[in-house]
């Protein structure tokens, strides 16, 4: 039996890092996808084929011994083979349009598409069940995940998310063009989240004030989204970047990219964990091309994306 699923990448529009401490974040899915094909095989092995590496492993080995980025696939396959009391194995083939390790949700899209495809070899599950499995699998590479990334990759569109209330869809369907530029600096989300934790512990009051400001900013953004006010959203993007600077997750290269993008777009900021990864700039038809051109003239790799409203897709 073969089972195939795809899930979109994402960007965090607002609230990364602060979401870990209970503040609301706003995320959207983007039209770049990971596709996973899973099939059961007679041999009692778990085979993973991906652009990172090809792995052939026996079931039941400790997860810490599995190649870091491929752990979610192994975890899901091993768990599902055990649940089914199967003596057979599984082959998983991963195909991705999302750059790796730069904050565009590549690992969450892998977890979501992986959970749907791998479990789909034996059973059909609801989106909520798949999301639960995907978050569990994501914890093998990132134990402190808030679950926000997997949530938006599963549901698509724009969501608001906070740890206490979970996710809810934001109904507005703005025709943003998001210009995404890659710093080409790979980052470890886990390390940067730990760095922010340390900053919080050493600067309790300052951190709490920034969280309050972020909270107010998000409330303004929700109104702007409702009114399709791109100028207002852009101003909030610039403010959010200031808060991210204050907690130490930006760097020289990101600042340079943001400065260039701010000349023509409505506003730009880093997205995801920071410390490298990507920035995005908010544009529409009027300023999309010029923003792309200016970033390219400065030798930054960039592309334009739109919001994906489909989310998880199974075949």
Q: Which of 4, 6, 8, 16 is the binder for ligand MEV (CB under 6 A)?
A: 16
Q: Give the binding range for ligand MEV (CB under 6 A) out of 9-17, 75-83, 178-186, 259-267.
A: 9-17
Query: Minimum Å distance from CB 147 to ligand MEV?
Result: 7
Which one from 40, 149, 162, 308 is the annotated catalytic residue?
149
Provide the 3-class DSSP secondary structure of residue 167: strand
**193 forms part of the interface with ligand MEV (CB under 6 A):** yes
Asked if 170 interacts with ligand MEV (CB under 6 A), we say no
Residue 103 interacts with ligand MEV (CB under 6 A): yes or no = yes
String of contacts with ligand MEV for each residue 55-94, x by CB under 6 A: ----------------------------------------
Give kind and range of the element (H or E) at residue 109.
Answer: helix 106-120
How far apart are CB 12 and ligand MEV at their closest, in Å? 6
Number of other residues whose CB lies within 10 A of the CB of residue 144: 11
Indicate the residue among 60 and 165 with the shorter CB distance to ligand MEV: 165
**Is 138 an interacting residue with respect to ligand MEV (CB under 6 A)?**
no
Burial of 256 (0-12, 13-18, 19+ CB in 10 A): middle
What is the largest distance, in Å, between two alpha-carbon atoms of the chain? 60
40 tagged catalytic: no
- Using CA atoms, how far apart are residues 11 and 170, in angstroms rounded to an integer? 15
Contact assessment for residue 9 and residue 34, using Cβ atoms and an 8 Å cutoff: yes
Residue in 313, 314, 309, 308 with CA at minimum distance from that of residue 104: 308
Decide if residue 146 touches ligand MEV (CB under 6 A): yes
d(CA 262, CA 251): 16
Q: Is 189 in the site for ligand MEV (CB under 6 A)?
A: yes
Is position 149 an interface residue for ligand MEV (rule: CB under 6 A)? yes
17 binds ligand MEV (CB under 6 A): yes
Look at residue 309 and give its three-state secondary structure.
coil
| Binds ligand MEV (CB under 6 A): choice among 104, 270, 273, 295 | 273
Comparing CB distances to ligand MEV, the nearer of 142 and 230 is 142
**Rounded distance, CA 137 to CA 78, Å?**
11
Q: Residue for token digits 């649940």?
A: 83
- φ/ψ (deg, to 5) at 187: -135, 160
Cβ proximity of 96 and 110 under 8 Å: yes
Other CB atoms within 10 Å distance of the CB of residue 127? 14
The size of the interface with ligand MEV (CB under 6 A), counted in residues, is 14
Nearer to ligand MEV, 10 or 177 (CB): 10
> Considering only 13-21, 38-46, 94-102, 252-260, which stretch makes contact with ligand MEV by CB under 6 A?
13-21
Q: Which residues sit at the interface with ligand MEV, rule CB under 6 A?
A: 12, 16-17, 19-20, 103, 145-146, 148-149, 189, 193, 272-273
Which are the catalytic amino acids? 149
């Amino acid at each position: 039996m073969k089972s195939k699923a795809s899930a979109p990448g994402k960007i965090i529009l607002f609230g990364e890092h602060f979401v870990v401490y209970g503040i609301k974040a706003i995320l959207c899915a983007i039209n770049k996808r990971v596709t996973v094909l899973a099939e059961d095989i007679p041999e009692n092995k778990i085979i993973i084929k991906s652009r990172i590496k090809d792995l052939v492993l026996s079931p039941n080995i400790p997860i810490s011994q599995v190649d870091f980025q491929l752990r979610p696939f192994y975890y899901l396959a091993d768990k599902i083979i055990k649940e089914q009391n199967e003596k057979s194995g599984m082959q998983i083939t991963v195909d991705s349009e999302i750059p790796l390790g730069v904050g565009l949700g590549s690992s969450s899209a892998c977890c979501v598409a992986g959970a749907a495809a791998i479990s789909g070899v034996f059973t059909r599950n609801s989106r909520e069940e798949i999301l639960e499995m995907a978050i569990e699998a994501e914890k093998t590479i990132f134990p402190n995940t808030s679950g926000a990334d997997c949530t938006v990759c599963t549901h698509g569109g724009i969501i608001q998310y906070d740890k206490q209330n979970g996710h809810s869809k934001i109904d507005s369907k703005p025709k943003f063009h998001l210009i995404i530029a890659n710093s080409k600096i790979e980052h470890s989300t886990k390390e940067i989240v730990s760095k922010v934790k340390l900053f919080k512990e050493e600067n309790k009051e300052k951190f709490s004030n920034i969280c309050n400001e972020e909270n107010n900013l998000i409330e303004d953004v929700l109104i702007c989204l409702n009114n399709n006010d791109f100028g207002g959203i852009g101003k909030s993007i610039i403010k959010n970047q200031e808060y991210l600077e204050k907690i130490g997750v930006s760097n020289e290269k990101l600042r340079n990219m943001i400065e260039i993008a701010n000349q023509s777009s409505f506003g730009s900021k880093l997205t995801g964990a920071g410390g490298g990864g990507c920035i995005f700039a908010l544009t529409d038809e009027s300023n999309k091309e010029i923003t792309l051109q200016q970033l390219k003239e400065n030798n930054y790799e960039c592309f334009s994306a739109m919001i994906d409203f489909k989310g998880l897709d199974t075949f």
